[in-house]
């Protein structure tokens, strides 16, 4: 019998240049580029998808404060290992964004504001991942 892993998640980023325009530039910073940030996130999220794209979807859109990533999927025969695979994938993307931030001025940074990813393993207890600045994506709740 097949075991399915159902995924639904949202990661919301703050893009400081979009939120807090520098008084030094009297408005938008010269490097203001929301489309560039979305393109960068598209490359990071879709470069090494943990599962085939037809079963695992990632959408990235812009909001008034920065990019929003939505993740969804229905994966067959993945089970408990799928939880750890997705957790590692999200943490690797976070590490890449943090590395990008190290080379930029503060108002060009992308910072995760909120994140929640529900992983519902069929015939098992659902698991929720959230984001902690110091620890990355962690399991914070189990159960229905």
Sign of the CA dihedral running 83, 84, 89, 93: positive
Distance CA 115, CA 113 (A): 7
* Predicted local distance difference test score (pLDDT) of residue 21: 61
- Output the domain CATH number for residue 44: 3.30.70
Match 């931030």 to its residue by tokens.
101
Distance CA 87, CA 74 (A): 16
Distance CA 24, CA 66 (A): 21
pLDDT digits (tens, 9 = 90+) for 26-51: 666 667 788 999 999 999 999 888 88
In which residue ranges of the chain is pLDDT below 70?
Answer: 1, 19-30, 141-144
Full-model pTM: 0.88
- Residue 66 sits in which domain range? 4-142
Structurally, the chain folds into a number of domains equal to 1
């Amino acid at each position: 019998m097949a075991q399915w892993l159902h995924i639904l998640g949202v990661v919301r980023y703050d893009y400081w240049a979009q939120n807090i325009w520098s008084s030094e530039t009297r408005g938008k910073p010269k490097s203001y580029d929301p489309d560039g940030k979305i393109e960068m996130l598209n490359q990071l999220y879709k470069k090494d998808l943990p599962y085939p794209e037809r079963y695992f979807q990632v959408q990235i859109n812009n909001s008034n404060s920065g990019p929003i990533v939505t993740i969804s999927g229905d994966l067959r025969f993945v089970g408990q290992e799928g939880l750890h695979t997705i957790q590692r994938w999200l943490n690797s993307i976070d590490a890449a964004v943090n590395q990008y931030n190290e080379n930029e001025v503060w108002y060009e940074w992308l910072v995760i504001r909120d994140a929640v990813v529900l992983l519902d393993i069929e015939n098992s207890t659902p698991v929720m991942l959230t984001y902690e600045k110091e620890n990355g994506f962690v399991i914070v709740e189990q159960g229905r």
